[in-house]
Amino acid sequence: MPKRQRIDSELLYSKLRYKHLLADQELLEKHPHAVEILSKNKLLSPGKIRSQAAKLLASGALAGSLLLGSPELNLPQKITPDLIISRESATNDENQTITSELKKILPQKIQNLTTDEEAEISHLLFRVWGINAVPSSGGTRLNHLYGLIGAEQHLPRFPGDTLSQHDENLREGITPGLGAWGYFSRTKKNLTKDLIQKEKYYVAVQTLYLPDWYTNFRYLRDWYKYRKVVVVNPNNGKTIVAVIADAGPSWWTGKHFGGSPEVMAYLGLNVGMQKGPVVLYFVDDPENKVPLGPLQQPVENEFLAKK
């Protein structure tokens, strides 16, 4: 008899989860008014729907593995963060795993990704970091997911903010003007820890070049403000979570994204030309479980055993 193929339960779950997220986005994109009406009448709650779907997906993935894999599956009795990390990495080093896997996925030259490449990257970031990273969200997507990021300065957080009041990477300076969404706070007194983090870990994206930016300006302006994203340097595997807080850079610079001094420093791109290739995805995080800043350990999610 031919030997039965082993089933990777984590990859199976990741693929099911990814299809669920895409279906969620398709519903919002094709029927936004219906979703809005259902939400207002409390007949649809995205957070609860996703939570319940996640439980079903997790149990479905494991059940499917058991059915397909027979005794050779050897599923662990408890799924731990170590098992979420790709099994192909012998060192258990997340950054090395990201680097080696992205080399297999990304094209040699910076260009638009295929649908399969987009999905593979989403699976990878989930398996390694436990986050739901998606190429599109809210019925919208950026023109680039894989491109060059360049260094940006600090943004003024409130009227009267100065460079000396920021605590790191002061050599990059502070912009003379405001970011695309204005001040983070009306006064220094109202500047919360959350807003400090948002300025510290921010990125700029080319919203002005979206095909429907001007025809759907009101919706997109509010939707993109402080939208959570994950940024990965494919050359060293370093991964950081940030928010969108500025627009740019201009197309003639040859760059596709901008990164705050702290973002660029962590990615290792604050030296030399202060630019480099990155992958940038939206983070689907309705319950706000994914913290801003460098990812240095997997984020707890519905696939981890909670015992």
- The label of the residue with tokens 């969404």 reads 181
Higher local confidence (pLDDT), 69 or 148: 148
User: Using only C-alpha atoms, what is the Rg of the chain?
Assistant: 20
pLDDT band of residue 109 (cuts 50, 70, 90) is: very high
Q: How confident is the model at residue 303 (pLDDT cuts 50, 70, 90)?
A: low
Decide: 204 and 153 in contact? Cβ < 8 Å.
no
How crowded is the C-beta side of 240, counted as CA atoms within 13 Å?
Answer: 26
Distance CA 242, CA 292 (A): 6
Question: What CATH superfamily classification does 88-294 receive?
Answer: RlpA-like domain (2.40.40.10)
Specify whether the CB–CB gap between 263 and 274 falls below 8 A.
no
- What pTM, to 2 d.p., does this model score? 0.76
Q: What is the DSSP string of 146-186?
A: EEEEEE--B---STT--GGGS-S-GGG-B-SS--TT--S-S
Mean pLDDT of 130-158: 96
Distances (CA, A) of 192 to 35, 198, 222, 245, 263: 32, 10, 20, 16, 20
Q: How many CB atoms lie within 10 A of CB 251?
A: 12
Sorted by where each begins, the domain ranges of the chain are 1-79, 88-294
For helices 9-30 and 32-40, angle between their N-to-C axes, nearest 10 degrees:
90
Please answer whether residues 107 and 121 qualify as being in contact, where contact means their C-beta atoms are separated by less than 8 angstroms. no
Which tens digits make up the pLDDT trace of 22-73?
A: 666 555 555 566 655 655 555 554 544 554 555 455 555 444 443 444 443 3
47: how many CB neighbours lie within 10 A of its CB?
9
Residue whose token pair is 């060192």: 91
Q: Which tokens in the block code for residue 199?
A: 């300025």
Element housing 133 (H / E): strand 133-134
Query: Which residue matches tokens 């919208």?
Result: 140
What whole-number distance in Å separates Cα of residue 8 and Cα of residue 13?
Answer: 9
Predicted local distance difference test score (pLDDT) of residue 74: 41
